[in-house]
Copies of this chain bind each other. A is one copy, B any other.
Amino acid sequence: MKTQSLSLRESTIWHAFKESAQMVLTWLAHDVAEATDLSEADFDVLSQLMDPGARDLRQQALAQSLGWHKARLSHHLSRMESRDLVVRRPLSGRIVIVNITKHGRDAYTSARPVHAASIRRSLLGQLTKHDIDSVLSIYARLRALSRE
């Protein structure tokens, strides 16, 4: 028989987990936005498109590798296209190809070091080897949970 609400200890852990992620993500968004006008979502999309192994990506494949729903990607690409970061090119029939533009490439290239530095400072630099093991194994367990 479980209690109805979290104990003090439990909610402390939950709060720590949740706030930790939120802090790092907020700092990252600020750092990157300050230097480059890209959101983290923009960065993730461009990052996929910069992968040399992924030339002429179909939109569905892109959504797949980002772990995004198709509608989210479609909306996001519309906004990115209007900012000249990306171009959509209809292929045969219902298939759409996504390409990064020169401006997108430049934006990504200047954002990348800022992105890396921010993550190193706010997260990676704070983790002991011990913590890293925990982070990786928590992730592995959650992935397993999601496949049940």
A: residues with CB less than 8 A from B are: 2-6, 10, 12-25, 112-113, 115-117, 119-120, 122-124, 126-128, 130-139, 141-142, 145-146
**Do the beta carbons of A123 and B14 come within 8 Å of each other?**
yes
**Do the beta carbons of B126 and A138 come within 8 Å of each other?**
yes
Give Cα A23 to B67, complex, Å: 11
The interface residues of chain A, by DSSP majority, are classed as helix
Q: Inside 8 A of A12's CB, which chain B residues have their CB?
A: 136
Q: How far is the CB of A114 from chain B (nearest CB, A)?
A: 10
Of the residues B20, B22, B25, B120, contact of A135 by C-beta under 8 Å:
B20
**Do the beta carbons of A117 and B17 come within 8 Å of each other?**
no
Q: How far is the CB of A123 from chain B (nearest CB, A)?
A: 6
**Do the beta carbons of A18 and B17 come within 8 Å of each other?**
no
A-B CB contact pairs (8 Å), 12 listed: A6-B116, A10-B119, A12-B136, A13-B136, A14-B124, A16-B136, A20-B139, A126-B141, A126-B142, A126-B145, A128-B134, A131-B137
